[in-house]
């Protein structure tokens, strides 16, 4: 976790006493087991960073020269125990240097980078994560690109899932006028990194310096979590600093049945988030916090769909056909009409529509209609959906009724229908 001031500079004097920190997980309060700075005095906690550089044809000239200079500056900032590697990509991915602490070798390899062809950005990111998966210590990827991914096997969803699986953050740097900014912002935001943009190459060195400084001034907070039934957990961290209480939130899946399939890991969680967003004075930001919805709600966490958020009514179909309420596109593992979510007396249930491909609930294939609970993970093909329905919302819905005119949902004590205006 990094804590930054309004100018994006790391705050280095956050108190490490446990009484100043508070952790809440799904409403339960926990005390941190340990709090430490990543690069505390005398510590030998190494940082591993994979530097990825777009060498497609549009990077020729000054862009490439400035990009190479910024890599050299980052290499110069490395401490003896730190490691870095270099990957370049165009229509294919090339490893220029594996992870190493040899600064001279890294400088030599950076200087040898040549211009190439198209842009296989996600393949390069995936390869970097794969290469660093077993590296110890703090891990991050920094990617510099001036365009969008137009080649390759891997997708945005594949890349974010793989990065999360290996606790790796992605820092993205967009260069030039043709940057697909929203995509780079999401890559950084959903992996716990940070996005930087510059229309010209002059600021690249400053960006790499800033990222390097942040990585060396992070805090690690460790706590034990109890084994509960909730698959999706929301964690809130607060810190008392100079008379203010600072808050940040993140979400994760319990290790025994994670979205990323790594059962059997101990329930000791490392509360590490690699970037802090800057507010008006001082603020924290971890991974994207789940919003609270008053109605039952589906979020498409991974997969291509016409939207990422769906409010449920009485029933909703899931499938590849666009007439489904929740349509999942370009996924051969999803049938035309794959599954249905329906309202029941006790909440909502999900049922596989004899898809032949199967529907999973919290990584278990369902063979009959199954009840849904808040935070459940639904799997269809490669897509992952999250069911959200708070206990407060369920209790609130007990007091709801249907409008006799339009059949819309109304409050039993209401005098007018909010949907059609009918007097009740």
**What are 77-92's pLDDT values in tens digits?**
888 889 999 999 988 8
Count of domains forming the chain:
3
Strands (E), 368-408: 370-371, 377-380, 383-388, 400-402
Asked, for residue 407, whether it belongs to a domain, the answer is: no
Alpha carbon distance 261, 18 (integer Å): 32
Residue 188 and residue 54 in one domain? yes
**Residue 267 pLDDT greater than 60, yes or no:** no
The whole-number pLDDT of residue 283 equals 34
**Best CA proximity match to 319, nearest among 342, 339, 301:** 339
Instruction: At 154, give phi and psi (nearest 5°).
Output: -95, 155
SS3 56: coil
Alpha carbon distance 142, 169 (integer Å): 9
Alpha carbon distance 172, 168 (integer Å): 13
- Three-state SS string over 164-209 comes to HHCCCEEEEEEECCCCCHHHHHHHHHHHCCCEEEECCHHHHHHHHH
Q: Residue 288 — pLDDT band, cuts 50, 70, 90?
A: very low
Residue 226 and residue 80 in one domain? no
SS3 387: strand
SS3 355: coil
Asked, for residue 67, whether it belongs to a domain, the answer is: yes
Residue 119 and residue 225 in one domain? no
The whole-number pLDDT of residue 412 equals 62
**Best CA proximity match to 79, nearest among 110, 42, 47, 116:** 47
Listed ranges 191-200, 289-298, 335-344, 404-413; the one with the highest mean pLDDT: 335-344
Residue 384 and residue 328 in one domain? yes
Residue 92 and residue 205 in one domain? yes
**Best CA proximity match to 157, nearest among 301, 333, 258:** 301
Name the domain boundary from 215, 237, 263. Answer: 215
Token digits of residue 380: 């269809």
The residue written with tokens 């920094």 in the block is 142
Q: What is the mean pLDDT of residues 235-257?
A: 72
**Residue 258 pLDDT greater than 80, yes or no:** no
Q: Between the CA of residue 404 and those of 286, 312, 349, 413, 416, what are the distances in Å?
A: 46, 20, 26, 14, 11
In this predicted model, which residue has the larger pLDDT, 17 or 228?
17
Say what angle helices 204-215 and 62-77 make with each other, to 10 degrees. 20
Residue 243 and residue 338 in one domain? no
Token digits of residue 349: 């249930």
Asked, for residue 97, whether it belongs to a domain, the answer is: yes
Q: Residue 415 — pLDDT band, cuts 50, 70, 90?
A: low
Minimum mean pLDDT range among 147-156, 253-262, 269-278: 269-278
The whole-number pLDDT of residue 400 equals 55
Note down the domain range covering 200: 47-215
Q: 283: burial class by Cβ within 10 Å (0-12, 13-18, 19+)?
A: middle
In this predicted model, which residue has the larger pLDDT, 359 or 91?
359
The whole-number pLDDT of residue 409 equals 63
Q: For the chain, what is the radius of gyration of the CA atoms?
A: 24
Asked, for residue 87, whether it belongs to a domain, the answer is: yes
Asked, for residue 71, whether it belongs to a domain, the answer is: yes
Q: What is the average pLDDT score of the chain?
A: 78
Asked, for residue 418, whether it belongs to a domain, the answer is: no
């Amino acid at each position: 976790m990094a804590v930054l001031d309004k100018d994006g500079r790391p705050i280095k004097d956050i108190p490490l006493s446990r009484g100043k920190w508070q952790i809440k997980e799904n409403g339960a309060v926990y005390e941190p087991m340990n709090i430490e700075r990543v690069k505390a005095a005398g510590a030998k906690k190494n940082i591993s960073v994979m530097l990825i550089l777009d060498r497609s044809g549009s990077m020729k000239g000054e862009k490439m020269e400035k990009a190479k200079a910024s890599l050299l500056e980052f290499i110069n900032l490395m401490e003896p125990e730190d490691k870095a590697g270099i990957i370049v990509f165009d229509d294919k991915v090339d490893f220029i240097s594996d992870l190493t602490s040899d600064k001279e070798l890294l400088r030599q390899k950076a200087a040898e980078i040549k211009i190439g062809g198209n842009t296989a950005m996600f393949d390069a990111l995936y390869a970097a994560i794969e290469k660093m998966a077993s590296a110890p210590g703090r891990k991050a990827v920094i990617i510099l690109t001036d365009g969008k991914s137009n080649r390759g096997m891997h997708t945005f969803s594949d890349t974010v899932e793989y990065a999360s699986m290996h606790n790796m953050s992605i820092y993205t740097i967009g260069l030039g006028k043709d940057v697909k900014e929203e995509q780079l912002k999401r890559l950084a935001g959903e992996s716990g990194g940070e996005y930087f943009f510059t229309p010209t190459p002059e600021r690249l060195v400053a960006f790499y310096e800033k990222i390097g400084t942040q990585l060396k001034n992070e805090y690690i907070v460790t706590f034990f979590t109890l084994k509960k039934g909730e698959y999706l957990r929301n964690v809130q961290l607060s810190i008392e600093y100079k008379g203010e209480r600072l808050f940040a939130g993140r979400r994760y899946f319990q290790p025994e049945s994670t979205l990323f399939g790594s059962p059997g890991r101990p329930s000791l969680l490392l509360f590490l988030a690699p970037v802090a967003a800057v507010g008006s004075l001082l603020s924290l930001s971890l991974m994207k916090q789940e919003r609270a919805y008053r109605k039952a709600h589906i979020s498409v966490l991974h997969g291509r769909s016409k939207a990422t958020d769906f409010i449920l009514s009485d029933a909703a179909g899931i499938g590849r056909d666009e007439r489904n309420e929740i349509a999942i596109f370009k996924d051969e593992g999803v049938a035309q009409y794959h599954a249905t979510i329906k309202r029941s007396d006790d909440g909502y249930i999900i049922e596989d529509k004899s898809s032949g491909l199967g529907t999973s609930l919290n990584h278990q294939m369902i063979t009959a209609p199954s009840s849904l609970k808040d935070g459940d993970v639904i799997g269809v093909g490669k897509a992952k959906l999250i069911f959200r329905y708070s206990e407060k919302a369920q209790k609130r819905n007990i007091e709801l009724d249907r409008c006799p005119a339009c059949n819309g949902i109304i409050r039993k004590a209401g005098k007018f229908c909010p949907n059609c205006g009918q007097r009740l």
